[in-house]
Amino acid sequence: MAMSGLRVALVLGLVAMFVAAELPGRRGRMFNEKERARARRTNVQDAEVAAYGGSFGVDIALWTEPSASAWSCMNTNGNYTFAVVEGWDGGRGVRSDVGTTTSNAWNAGFTAVDIYSFMCPGCGNTAASASSLISTLTSQQVNYGTVWLDVEDCTGCWTDSASNVNFIQSLVDTYQSAGVNIGFYTSVGEWQQVTGNTQNFAQFPLWYAH
């Protein structure tokens, strides 16, 4: 079962570091047909994934809404056991169906369901955006483990590295004040470009995009 908009992630050993396939430059906009074709070509089939062993999962973008039966198919036929659901997408804001989507994953037998969030100053986001996401997760009674802060470069999204680090710190402070577990989704290049390779957040788990 191949599903565009889903990216395969592999848990490496027992550390909190995941590997995900990423299509560059897609942040903040829909896939065009050329990118959809590329995603289909590079998508790993379920039988190939299962052959690797280990724990596998999917991350679900804002515009991807798998049905309850699709979640069940991924769990039973694809050996997927964890999911990371997008909760906030820059200027688009909060994902309104985050509660339903996470519930469908849990009900299908997934053993871990997390949230990921892309926020940036150029998108009009502030620490209040993190508070809004937390409020949505609370009001919809979303059951999740970690909110992953998605740090990726894109045109007009960020400013200088010092200001970007301060912005990220404001998000971290907001989540921690609310008792939310957080981690970071990023790559070597993205982290360098956005933060100047700061080590300020080295204590948090890493979901490594490669």
Question: What is the sign of the dihedral through the CA atoms of 116, 210, 64 and 50?
Answer: negative
Tell how strand 6-11 and strand 56-60 pair up: antiparallel
| pLDDT on residue 76 | 87
- Quote the pLDDT of residue 67: 87
Residue 200: what pLDDT? 96
Every domain of the chain and the residues it spans: 6-209
> What's the angle, vertex CA 23, arms to CA 76 and CA 89, rounded to 5?
80
* Bigger pLDDT: 51 vs 91: 91
The rounded distance, in Å, linking the Cα atoms of 105 and 70 is: 9
- Cα separations in angstroms, 191 against 32, 132, 143, 180: 26, 25, 29, 22
Q: What is the largest CA-CA distance in the chain?
A: 46
Compute the distance between CA of residue 35 and CA of residue 41 in angstroms, rounded to an integer. Answer: 10
What's the mean pLDDT in 71-84?
A: 89
pLDDT over 80 (residue 105): yes
Of the pLDDT bands very low, low, confident and very high (cuts 50, 70, 90), residue 148 is: very high
pLDDT at site 60: 87
**Where do the H-state alpha helices sit in the chain?**
33-42, 46-52, 68-78, 98-107, 127-139, 161-177, 188-195
Active site residue 48: no
Q: What is the mean pLDDT of residues 151-177?
A: 96
117-144 pLDDT, tens digit per residue, is 999 999 999 999 999 999 999 999 999 9
Q: Residue 186 and residue 71: Cα distance in Å, rounded?
A: 26
In this prediction, residues 100-124 reach a mean pLDDT of 95
CATH 3.40.1010.20 fits 6-209, yes or no: no
Alpha carbon distance, N-terminus to C-terminus of the chain:
23
- What pLDDT does 19 receive? 35
**pLDDT surpassing 60 at residue 102:** yes
pLDDT at 45: 58
Catalytic residue of the set 33, 35, 48, 152: 152
Give the model's pLDDT for residue 63: 66
Mean pLDDT of 183-204: 96
pLDDT tens profile 10-59: 333 223 333 333 333 444 444 444 444 444 444 555 566 566 667 788 88
pLDDT at 57: 87
Query: Average model confidence (pLDDT) for the chain?
Result: 80
How many Cα atoms sit within 13 Å of 48 on the Cβ side? 7
* Strands 182-186 vs 147-150: parallel, antiparallel or unpaired: parallel
Query: What are 144's two structure tokens?
Result: 């999740």
pLDDT classification of 210: cutoffs 50, 70, 90: confident
Closest CA to 185 of 166, 168, 161, 162: 168
